Amino acid sequence: MSAQKVDYYASESKIYIATDCIIFGFDNESIKLLVFKRRVAPFEGEWSLIGSFVKNDESVNNAAKRVLREITGLENVFMKQLKVYGEVDRDPGSRCITVGQYALIRIEDQDKALVEKHGAVWHDLHELPDLVLDHNTMVKDALTQLRLRASYQPIGFELLPEKFTIPSLQKLYEEIYQIEFDARNFRKKIIALDVLTKLDEKDKSSSKKGAFLYKFNPTKYNKLLEAGINFKL
Amino acid sequence: MSAQKVDYYASESKIYIATDCIIFGFDNESIKLLVFKRRVAPFEGEWSLIGSFVKNDESVNNAAKRVLREITGLENVFMKQLKVYGEVDRDPGSRCITVGQYALIRIEDQDKALVEKHGAVWHDLHELPDLVLDHNTMVKDALTQLRLRASYQPIGFELLPEKFTIPSLQKLYEEIYQIEFDARNFRKKIIALDVLTKLDEKDKSSSKKGAFLYKFNPTKYNKLLEAGINFKL
DNA sequence: TTTTTTAAATGTACAAAATACATTTATTAT
DNA sequence: ATAATAAATGTATTTTGTACATTTAAAAAA
């Protein structure tokens, strides 16, 4: 459709456009979601995803990037459109559609002061409070999307620090899918993918022996993609 | 985001919302896309996807359903959101974002007179003309989505008549993925899925021997889904 | 210095799934 | 009766997935 026809439609167009971010993080224990308690009306005191109206001079995707930057201080974050929530009555205030976008961030990279300043809190994904409007639905949809995407693209690395161990990667996938993997088979499969670079360092924070650190190798991954090889966890 | 804050944003909100349909069909030969030649400005005489502005009193998804019904006469069609195209300058006329939605229809079910009345034409997917705005991009994205989804959900049946043969199903998948499958292995895999019901009739339109007709069995498929079994072509 | 403790690292046998590949069959047309 | 056409079928091989138990490195405690 082209808006060069706007004259014919001007009288109809009173629909506001927002974007809401479903922000996932991982703290080596469980998957977290960044939400905040609204400090002003409407829905003062209630939990909500973090979002914004789309401004006239920014793209929908850039609006989401802006929101993320304003809250966490982060740029160049992994973010994908989830879907448009466009029911007529989804927002009792006024007709407003929103574009859900989910983001994967490395919690330790966040600007903690900025996050706190906005009253944003990392909540355990599997024990979320009630959120305003259809935000709980958005989170549910986003998790489904995350699982689907994680099954054909190694996005897990987006949630981990640059250097990570195989056991922590396994833990992450266990949290995403809520099932346990066999450590030997998991390691075998990940190593076989051949997208990791093993480092000489160890992380001894969780065992006396320590676990070797690895780095994700995007070059190798892109070669895989070009060769048309489809990853399957 | 909630639009109960509209007062603060009212001055900013001059963004039009449209939806465009990427309508796929299959004629037992190749995959087709339904497009039309614009008869009025803007872009008069150019090829375009079929879309509409979203009306104040209809949801985004219903707007797409309306478009599909107005053009093809069909309801209850398989349709999924693709993504939002929300770049600031994507439409030179006025700020307008559009929600791309792809649909899979059974060509023979269409209201042919209605389609013709609208100047809509089925074009070979792999030999499309230049379309207006970013519509070619939308089609490319939709095909990627279609391939992805077809790999974990048997949506191929949405494009076939109620009764179809295994060879025609194979041909469809070959068209979607643009690769050839081994007829024995393809048949084995599809039968093993156990979501088809074999009929006593044959379709003799393409061979002397004739090929048995099958029907898709949604009940069996839903049982599979519930059991958590993930289809993989 | 030895022993204990902890989680990391490793290998193999078996089962299931994917792949490669050639012949027979049912039917119509000649 | 024969020829022609596409449909239908089976098997052996390779690849991938799964189940499962022991050893190892390092730190802490004795």
d(CA A159, CA A154): 11
> Whose CA is closest to A57, among B84, B89, B1, B98?
B89
The 10 Å Cβ neighbour count of residue B57 is: 9
Q: What is the pLDDT of residue A4?
A: 55
Round the average pLDDT of chain B to a whole number and report it.
Answer: 93
Q: A88–B3: do the CB atoms touch at under 8 Å?
A: no
Q: Is the pLDDT of residue B233 over 90?
A: no
| Tokens at A106, concatenated | 């490395």
Question: Which of A12, A86, A148 minimises the CB distance to B59?
Answer: A86
Whose structure tokens read 């966040």? A110
Mean pLDDT of A208-226: 93
d(CA B33, CA A186): 42
Distance between CA atoms of residues B84 and B92, nearest Å: 17
Distance CA B65, CA B182 (A): 37
Q: Nearest 5°: phi and psi at B144?
A: -60, -45
E strand residue ranges, A125-169? 163-165
Closest chain B CA to residue A95: B3
What's the pTM?
A: 0.93
Work out if A167's Cβ lies within 7 angstroms of strand C: yes
On whether the CB atoms of residues A104 and A76 are closer than 8 A, the answer is no
Tokens 């839903």 locate to B222
Instruction: Sketch out chain A's domains with CATH numbers.
Output: 16-150 (3.90.79.10), 155-227 (1.10.10.10)
Comparing B158 with B1, the larger pLDDT belongs to B158
Which 14-73 positions of B have CB less than 7 A from strand D? Answer: none
Helix axes A183-193 and A166-177, enclosed angle (nearest 10): 110
Q: Is the pLDDT of residue B157 over 90?
A: yes
Residue A95 banded pLDDT, cuts 50, 70, 90: very high
Q: Tell me, what amino acid is at B178?
A: Q
pLDDT tier for residue B224 given thresholds of 50, 70 and 90: confident
Distance of CA A103 to CAs A67, B139, B148, B174, Å? 11, 25, 21, 34
Q: Is the dihedral of CA B147, B150, B152, B153 positive or negative?
A: positive
Interchain contact, A54 vs B93, CB within 8 Å: no
User: Which of B33, B57, B43, B167 has its CA nearest to residue B93?
Assistant: B43
Predicted pLDDT at A61: 98
Q: What's the CA gap between B197 and B209, in Å, rounded?
A: 20
